[in-house]
Amino acid sequence: MKSTLLIIWIAFVGLFNLPVQAQDDVYVKEYLQRLENSKKYILKIAEMLPEDKYNYRVTPESMSFAENLLHIGYAMDWHSQSLLGGREARIWKTDTVFKTAHKSKEDMIKLINKTFDETIKLITNFDTNKLSERLDYFGSNRTKRQILMLLADHVTHHRGQMLVTLKLNGITPPRYVLYQ
């Protein structure tokens, strides 16, 4: 009798877990589509600005166009490879991979492209059962699902600053609607 009740209980719990798993699979699939389009958009933006304008700052205290671009890469690497993937985090102040020094426009574009590809690969292979796992995020308790949303917000935030640089340099940015 106990084994029959146990089997019924396991089946019952399992049936309710399947819709959640299916939703997470759809969420990741849709997230990846959005990330692919975000990659195309940011690469287009990075290509549009002439290399001699890559150090342009909207205000003296703001990041340059190049710094925003590589900061996106750094944050993408940290959110995906470290927070989701478990790799030891790079330290922003001492990291040289995502610093602009001694990098050409071409080097930076290759790096951001590679970082998007690595992030997409990690998320493609990510175990969606782990999306509800929680971790510390600057003192806040966040799920790994929330980490994905925070990553997307961060990319958008810094990309927006890059768009301002284009406009202030007389360059019309690509239409966002083509990359949604």
Residue ranges of the annotated binding site for a divalent metal cation are: 71, 154, 158
Count CB atoms within 10 A of the CB of residue 157: 13
Query: Rounded to an integer, what distance in angstroms lies between the CA atom of residue 163 and that of residue 176?
Result: 10
Query: Rounded to an integer, what distance in angstroms lies between the CA atom of residue 180 and that of residue 57?
Result: 27
Query: Rounded to an integer, what distance in angstroms lies between the CA atom of residue 37 and that of residue 152?
Result: 11
Is the distance from CB of 28 to CB of 116 less than 8 angstroms? no
Is the distance from CB of 129 to CB of 23 less than 8 angstroms? no
Residue linked to tokens 């958008």? 156
Residue 130's identity, in one-letter code, is K
- Binding-site entries: 71, 154, 158
